[in-house]
Structure formats: C-alpha cells, structure tokens
Amino acid sequence: MHRLLIDQPIFIGFKMDGRLRQHIETLGEADRKYVSPDRSEFLRICRVGEDLYVGKVVDDRLTTDRVEDIRRNVMSIVRKIGHEVNLPASLQILACSRADMDPLPGNPGITG
C-alpha cells in the first residue's frame, strides 16, 4: 500500500531546452519577476539531476479541475517572456520536496 503525502508540494511544468534556459537567464528586469523562487503566482525553475524544469509549484491540495488552469497559466507566462520558444504539448506533474526548494547559488530563480 502506498502512503499519500498531503503536505508536500507538487510541480507542474516541463523540462527546459537550452534555448529557453538561455532566454530565461538573460531576461531583463521587467520580465525577471515572472520567474521567482518566492512568489507562487509566477514560474519556478527546479532541478532534477542536471536537468532544469520550468513550471509552477503548488503547495496546497490539487484538484483535477485546477490542473488545466495551472497548465494554461504556465504556458501563458512562458509565451509572455519568450514568445519564440517551442512549448510542449503537455506538462509533467511531479512531486517535489520542500528541502529542494532553496534557491541555487548564483541564480535566485532556480531551486535545487
């Protein structure tokens, strides 16, 4: 039997390619606010091994009707900051650990 962890955040997003990563790293001040380790209404960047993912971290319980809203929001923000970026057809839903939510040294928008 599996045990449900209701107090752990969920990440909804996708693996960044090099082009998107470079674009995010060079965002101007006006657009940098859309990628924030502190504000849940904007995007977070999380690491899985050496791969970087961009999306939203959801701290509260997630219902199926909210998944589509979050998907549209992630895609909308990515289009806003990088309209020329190729977007995936669907997003991944991954469990994440609060211990891994600290910003990585050198880039406050990327969490480990």
User: Taking the domains of the chain in order of start, what are their residue ranges?
Assistant: 10-104
The whole-number average pLDDT for the span 53-61 is 91
Helix (H, G, I), strand (E, B) or coil at 30: helix
pLDDT tens, 4-27? Answer: 888 889 999 999 998 899 889 899
pTM of the predicted model as reported, rounded to 2 decimal places: 0.81
Rounded Cα–Cα distance for residues 59 and 9 (Å): 4
Q: For residue 55, give the nearest of 86, 17, 10 by alpha carbon.
A: 10
Kindly tell me if the per-residue pLDDT of 40 is higher than 90.
no
Tokens of 67: 């998944």
| CA-based R_g, the chain, Å | 14
